[in-house]
Structure 1
């Protein structure tokens, strides 16, 4: 392959955002999963005494009790559905509110100077310290759980979107200004499309954090139907380790699914600008 062909190939891979998937890329996580599973079995069946095996039940017992028992599975799925609704609503509010704040800050320097320090302060306040106050102010139901999700998931959207909007090529901005294109048109036609990769990266981070917020909210706001966090606390108190591990696995899978979805959505949306082949 000539140097020019190699350079063209590298440029195509960079535009695509990542190299093509190979069998090694698929095999590596499977091998690591098998190793973790083997260690889990070894600790559960060999290291732990039978009377202490509840601390780490074997994977097959977790699957049998938590997922193959229809009563336990139905309870877990109901809790997962409630937590999913909380996480998705909180994530949606975070995206809309975070993008609006970031756009306002990108368009007016005084807005950024005024608002950004408080956004940082909101991010640095321990969420567990805010949860009791949220309960006092908004009761302990569904709405309070959504508020917790928003508080946890908001800052990544603000920071990533603002970074993307402020990272637009200066030459393109000067070109738009030279032709006296309006601020709104400049935002829609140049800044927002250029900010999409950074913005969707923030969406992915906030997607995982929204699931964390839903679970954390459940631990404190236990009124109404139990979410997955309430079930985790209930199983912990009753030493139902198989169900506890099943609830943790489902909560983790929810976070992974939301994270992967936004990664796919990012490639789908931004690919029209950043992944297209040049002739």
Structure 2
């Protein structure tokens, strides 16, 4: 039996998502036509949100691109820092015992609590937002990468040691490839967190930035009680996080599809 084509596989995967979206919009419309009729300041109708998008398309596009840039920079820094830190800890139990508790501590401190300090130290600018996004998305990458590097089979490690004396070669050709599924899992988690971190940073910046990203525009819309635009910006932020997640998931499937059972047959 021939496997389904890519188009058929995509359709099979996409139709349940589209069906739920259509049902959600229909329910939303029904609620605004009954329970929330005449209360657009609380829950605007879908057509009101669409009108707000059309009216503010330029501002929305620029804000989305700004948040995308900040989240991408924070995410890339988290990838480099997280994988690098985990690689160091995987080579020394002493380093792991010394550094890992602080990585956990950084994860447990509420970002909203430290964001004002970051803004105070670095100013009301994009750098502060990037740093907050970095902090938000760092720990899952560190944790999953370290878990993957520590999960290398002892038998394979001993077998590899018989053929090479280089620790770097063993790391590059055995530990790192074997940890790739764990690393990608961490990257997928952090993809959405980087967007959340960027928007939290923009919330803190508020009116300190004339244009700003989606977080800044959400604050503006809330202050003006422009609920339809507020809904549009929340939807844009959600779709941006979803896009990040899907891009990273797609790259992960490409890297794993030829050898790891989690991605084989998924295209």
Deviation of 1:33 (Å)? 1.6
Q: Tell me the residue number matched to 2:233.
A: 247
Aligned match for 1:82, one of 66, 73, 80:
66
Query: Structure 1 or 2: larger helix share?
Result: 1
1:179-235 deviation per Cα after TM superposition (whole angstroms, max 9, x unaligned): 343110011101111111110111111110000011000011233332110100110
Answering whether residue 28 of structure 2 is matched by residue 40 of structure 1, we say: yes
1:24: Cα distance to partner?
A: 5.2
Gaps of 5+ in 1: 2-11, 13-19
Aligned pair partner of 1:55 in 27, 42, 56: 42
Aligned to 1:227: 213
Which runs of 5 or more residues in structure 2 are unaligned? none
TM-score by length of 1: 0.87
Determine the structure 2 residue equivalent to 1:257.
243
Deviating 4+ runs (over 4 angstroms): none
**1:94–1:150 Cα contact (<8 Å) kept:** yes
Instruction: Report the Cα distance in structure 1 between the residues aligned to 2:163 and 2:227, rounded to whole angstroms.
Output: 66
- Select which of 208, 224, 232 maps to 2:192: 208
Contact 2:256 2:264 in 1 (8 A): no
Q: How many residues align?
A: 257
Q: 1:195 to 1:33 in 2, by over 3 A?
A: same
Shift of 1:25: 3.8
2:180 maps to 1:196: yes
How much does 1:28 deviate? 2.1
Cα distance in 2 for residues equivalent to 1:60 and 1:94: 39
Pair 1:138–1:22, CA change in 2 (3 A): closer
Cα distance in 2, alignment partners of residues 166 and 210 from structure 1? 25
Pick closer, same or farther for the CA change 1:79–1:186 going to 2, 3 Å: same
- Contact persistence 2:115–2:132 (CA under 8 A): yes
- Contact preservation (8 Å) 2:164, 2:170: no
Q: Distance in 2 between matches of 1:145 and 1:272?
A: 38
Does structure 2 retain, via aligned residues, the 8 Å contact 1:45–1:53?
no
Deviation at 1:21, TM superposition (A): 3.9
The CA distance in 1 between the partners of 2:188 and 2:264, in whole Å, is 22
- Partner residue in 2 for 1:17: none
In our comparison, the structure showing a higher alpha carbon Rg is 1
Matched-pair contact (CA < 8 Å) for 2:40–2:227: no
SS for the counterpart of 2:124 is: coil
Tell me how far apart the structure 1 counterparts of residues 15 and 205 of structure 2 sit (CA, whole Å): 42
